[in-house]
Amino acid sequence: MDPEAFLDLANQVIKLKMYPYFDIAHSLLCALAVREDLGAGAQTFSRKHPLSCWLSTMLVIFAGGMVVNGLLGEPMLAPLKNTPQLVIGTVTWYLVFYTPFDVGYKVAKFLPVKVAASAMKEIYRAKKVYDGVSHAAKLYPNAYVIMIIVGTLKGNGAGFTKLIERLIRGAWTPTAMETMQPSFYTKASLVASIIFVLDKKTDLISAPHALVYFGIVIFFVYFKVRYFSRFLVN
């Protein structure tokens, strides 16, 4: 691949529109995660406590934005004003939990669907980390630590709201704090945030901005696909 075409591709990735396909992939995986977290009794739970089920799914979907808004003194509910995203979230939640014969869940769990959605979600994650770092950099141009914290939380907000999400569903697991055993997503988002900050604020990284961004995207997607390849080999 010649370098110019590569840079072109990178520039296209940076301008990729997230709505609606990437939002759908993200919502789908969030709803799946809630369902897996509920375990065997997920369906019974969703019938008995629909409000709790819906609220906790929305919290997972909008976790990054809500947490960051809360920490930056902006309205925590504001992400919900994005009506199309809320509709997508509610529809996917419905499909994963309430379709007849559990068709929605089975389709979502089907490996090719899940791999595609996961790859898309990683592209989405890279964008959110980047947006978080940029947003914090606008508010506090010299506070590198705030930029890194905001970027990380945007990248894996749901990890940090897991306790509240489960509390909404009546379960309390204080030892499951993300800070104790940071997941791969948190570590990856942290690394990506640091790279974005270095790229934005220092001259240490000489590569064009689009390439840095593209590199992060590839890094996220690569590890996600490699993770799934384990299931394919066996």
Residues engaged in binding a copy of itself (CB under 8 A): 49, 51-52, 55-56, 69-78, 80-81, 83, 86, 139-140, 142-146, 149-150, 163, 167-172, 174-175, 177, 179-180, 182
Closest to a copy of itself by CB, 175 or 234: 175
Q: How far apart are CA 192 and CA 129, in angstroms?
A: 7
Q: How far apart are CA 73 and CA 221, in angstroms?
A: 32
CB of 37 to a copy of itself, least distance (A): 15
174: its two tokens: 């204080």
CB of 59 to a copy of itself, least distance (A): 10
CB of 119 to a copy of itself, least distance (A): 27
The H-or-E segment that residue 103 falls in is: helix 103-109
CB of 171 to a copy of itself, least distance (A): 7
Closest to a copy of itself by CB, 19 or 222: 19
Closest to a copy of itself by CB, 76 or 113: 76
Closest to a copy of itself by CB, 33 or 167: 167
Closest to a copy of itself by CB, 49 or 209: 49
* Longest CA span, the chain: 57
Q: How many CA atoms lie within 13 A of 199 on its CB side?
A: 20
Q: How far apart are CA 107 and CA 70, in angstroms?
A: 35
CB of 173 to a copy of itself, least distance (A): 9
- Name the H helices within the chain: 3-14, 21-38, 42-48, 50-61, 63-71, 83-98, 103-109, 111-139, 144-155, 157-168, 184-201, 209-233
